[in-house]
Structure 1
Amino acid sequence: MNGHHGATVGPLLLVPLVVFWVYLAAALRERDAGRGGWSHWRTASFGTGTALLAVAVLVPGHDLVGHMWRHLLVGMLAPLGLVLGAPGTLALRVLDRRRGRALVRALRHPVARVVAHPVTGLLLTAGGLYALHLTPLYRASLDHPPLHTLVLAHFLASGYLFTWAIAGPDPGPHRPAVPVRLVVLGVSVAAHAALAQLMYAGLVDTAAPVAQTRTAATLMYYVGDLAELLLALAVLVTWRPARVHPGVRSAQLTSRPA
């Protein structure tokens, strides 16, 4: 397993580097004459996300603790940086009108509304985590490196989708109200905490020594909470409550029965 890890680090490390290079090229294009520029904070956020993906690739070992660090980096921490980098908005600004309109139409499709719902993201992230640790899938991923890569790809895609549905600045289907999104996020916190406690109590078959299992469970509990706290802060910071026009408010008040 360690030999396989060393052989795949190089190619996998290129992926986040290439992704950031493409994003940076688009951001720099926005600084050309006649364009409005692009936020340095967005660029830094996306760069942080790709850097965390690179760190996940470099995490040594295939034991449970290493697996947990990779899950937290790939599935929770890196997606937050990537999503807050608003790559969709940047893409719409650099694409030509025909491709931009096609992307907007795709986002307005009814299927996109279902896929982009926070509950869908919750089912994919938390459901995938429970399926990994409460079925033989985790043991199988230890013996089959391609399966392990697919598991990480699932965590990255589902983590990005969930983060985007909760606090993404990019355009997309109409999202539920902020209180609803915060409730879904609270359910995610509870789901992660429950699995971490089951793991710590030894009720989950981890194929690892007790001390290692408890370390991994502790990471899931505390680092997972930190990632979801940061996501909640992102929701609140970007929340813009709808303003009611004074005339509309006055009409609403006068229409109420005495």
Structure 2
Amino acid sequence: MDHDMPAGAHDAGGGLLGWLPSALALLSAAGAYLLLVRRARRRNPALGWSRWRTVSFQTGITLLGAALLPPVAPFAHHDFRGHMAQHMLIGMYAPLALVLAAPVTLLLRTLPASRGRQLTAVLHSPPARIVAHPVPALLLSTGSLAALYFTPLYDMVTGDPAAHWLLHAHFLLSGCLFAYVIAGPDPAPSRPGVRARLVLLGVAIAAHAVISQLIYGGFWVDIHAPIDQVQAGAEIMYYGGDIAELLLAAALVATWRPDRPRRPAPVPGDSAGTAFAPAVDRGRRSGQPCPRVLSRRTRV
């Protein structure tokens, strides 16, 4: 750990005009979601759309705005504590809110039938099944943190504005992917059972804790920043990550629907015998005459 931030990190903001594209992009995403909700309600007024999902999406956009706009964004360009706060917002809190808004389900309700079938085919394709499995999602979201903070990659990325935006995109997409496969209400063809997802979530919690403790202790860390900033950033990662993952676990429990037990299929042609079997057994044990079973040809 050094006492200087990467060159170029101080002037990466670009003034107020530098934040304008981000603000416009976020406002466009929020407006597009509201338009899709309006279209979905018009197409099927009886089915409608959950207001909680709409609030969840707008909350996610607000969290992204807090991370990508002043005062957090300029602070993150010259202070590791701001970077870690930005990472928490972009990679953990905003993705959970966006995923709980069920954007894929909303698209399927508003797209034309042909486009909806195309989207469904993409979701069921082998590449999508591989990427949307919890293990690759865990590696992309949590495993990449070790490569970022324990190699010179962090200083290289934060010193280049274009690479820094690519890092933001990686945090957002990998966070959305992990939240989607763990607790997303949208359909996921390769999503495992609740127990497997809870185990993988526990692995993610442990990995975040280990990485943050290593950063705090300065083990294998390759971050050019003052020691007090690095340690404070590690604390933000430790406690902020725990809260975000507990919220993800709560979302998993809230969106979980237990499987209903399947009833045994009736034997063809034996519906009457099956219905009267308990009465026949009781009659034999008690010595009373068994009830008479009417055949299909018996007329009442």
When the two structures are superposed, what TM-score results if normalisation uses the length of structure 2?
Answer: 0.80
Residue 64 of structure 2 is aligned to residue 53 of structure 1: yes
Residue 21 of structure 2 is aligned to residue 4 of structure 1: no
Partner of residue 127 from structure 1, selected from 129, 143, 155: 143
Residue 25 of structure 2 is aligned to residue 15 of structure 1: yes
TM-aligned CA deviation for residue 34 of structure 1: 4.6
Q: Give the secondary-structure state (helix, strand or coil) at the position aligned to 1:31.
A: helix
TM-aligned CA deviation for residue 246 of structure 1: 5.2
Partner of residue 237 from structure 1, selected from 245, 254, 261: 254
Residue 24 of structure 2 is aligned to residue 24 of structure 1: no
Conservation of the 8 A alpha-carbon contact between 2:87 and 2:171: yes
> What is the alpha-carbon distance in structure 2 between the residues aligned to residue 8 and residue 109 of structure 1?
39
Aligned 1:159-238 pairs, distance under 5 A: 159-203=175-219, 204-238=221-255
Conservation of the 8 A alpha-carbon contact between 2:152 and 2:223: no
> What is the alpha-carbon distance in structure 1 between the residues aligned to residue 156 and residue 150 of structure 2?
12
Aligned AA (2:236): L
Corresponding residue number in structure 2 for 1:255: none
Q: Give the secondary-structure state (helix, strand or coil) at the position aligned to 2:90.
A: helix
More helix by share: 1
Corresponding residue number in structure 2 for 1:99: 115
Rg bigger for which structure?
2
30-39 vs 192-201, which deviates more?
A: 30-39
> What is the alpha-carbon distance in structure 2 between the residues aligned to residue 188 and residue 14 of structure 1?
33
TM-aligned CA deviation for residue 31 of structure 1: 2.7
Q: CA RMSD in A?
A: 1.4
After superposition, the C-alpha distances for 1:28-52 in whole angstroms (9 at most, x for unaligned) are 2223275331110000001101110
Aligned AA (1:4): A
> What is the alpha-carbon distance in structure 1 between the residues aligned to residue 241 and residue 264 of structure 2?
45
Aligned AA (1:155): F
When the two structures are superposed, what TM-score results if normalisation uses the length of structure 1?
Answer: 0.92
After superposition, the C-alpha distances for 1:165-207 in whole angstroms (9 at most, x for unaligned) are 1111112213101110111111111111101001111221221
Conservation of the 8 A alpha-carbon contact between 2:142 and 2:204: yes
206-215 vs 91-100, which deviates more?
A: 206-215
Matched residues, number? 248
> What is the alpha-carbon distance in structure 2 between the residues aligned to residue 120 and residue 87 of structure 1?
21
> What is the alpha-carbon distance in structure 2 between the residues aligned to residue 88 and residue 31 of structure 1?
16
After superposition, the C-alpha distances for 1:9-59 in whole angstroms (9 at most, x for unaligned) are 111122221111100111122232753311100000011011101001121
After superposition, the C-alpha distances for 1:59-99 in whole angstroms (9 at most, x for unaligned) are 13212111101111111000000000000000000000000
> What is the alpha-carbon distance in structure 1 between the residues aligned to residue 226 and residue 167 of structure 2?
22
Structure 1 stretches lacking a partner, 5+ long = 249-258
Q: Which has the higher contact order (CA 8 A, sep 6+)?
A: 2
